[in-house]
Amino acid sequence: MAPRGLFAAALAESAIVVWRDVSQTKVPPPPSDFVAVAIIYGALSLLPDSGSGFASIVGWGFVAATFLNLWSPSAPTKLAVPGGTANVASASQQASGTKTTITPAAAGSTS
């Protein structure tokens, strides 16, 4: 059951990537986006059978994070920083040259 769950998560991840790119830029995503999804979910599929349930849960966690804009498989370095802010430029802002900025939380803050 778990390998099918991981495969379904990979398909859902690909669907979200396609939907997001087509809705923002009106063009299909580049092949590198699909390669990133294949590498991530392929690595999860290498876990032993005893860890297949864990792999499915992690895979669906990636789907949820992508859907909530907390993570992008094509730009994994643009993670949301806990306690900080991540300003990810939209497609139109990227076309005009706006850069992505990530501000880490202040050390020792208690908020």
The DSSP code for 108 is T
Q: What pLDDT does residue 29 have?
A: 87
Residue 99, domain extent: 77-111
**Residues 70 and 104 placed together within one structural domain of the fold:** no
- What total number of domains does the chain contain? 2
Residues 55 and 84 reside in one and the same domain? no
C-alpha span between 28 and 17 (Å, rounded): 9
Q: Could you tell me if 7 and 57 lie in one domain?
A: yes
Q: What pLDDT does residue 104 have?
A: 58
Residues 64, 107 share a domain: no
Return the pLDDT at 63: 93
Same domain as 105, residue 89:
yes
What pLDDT does 107 receive?
53
pTM: 0.63
pLDDT per residue rounded down to tens, the chain (111 residues): 456 889 999 999 999 999 988 988 888 888 888 998 999 999 999 988 888 889 999 999 999 988 988 877 666 555 555 555 555 566 666 666 656 555 555 555 555
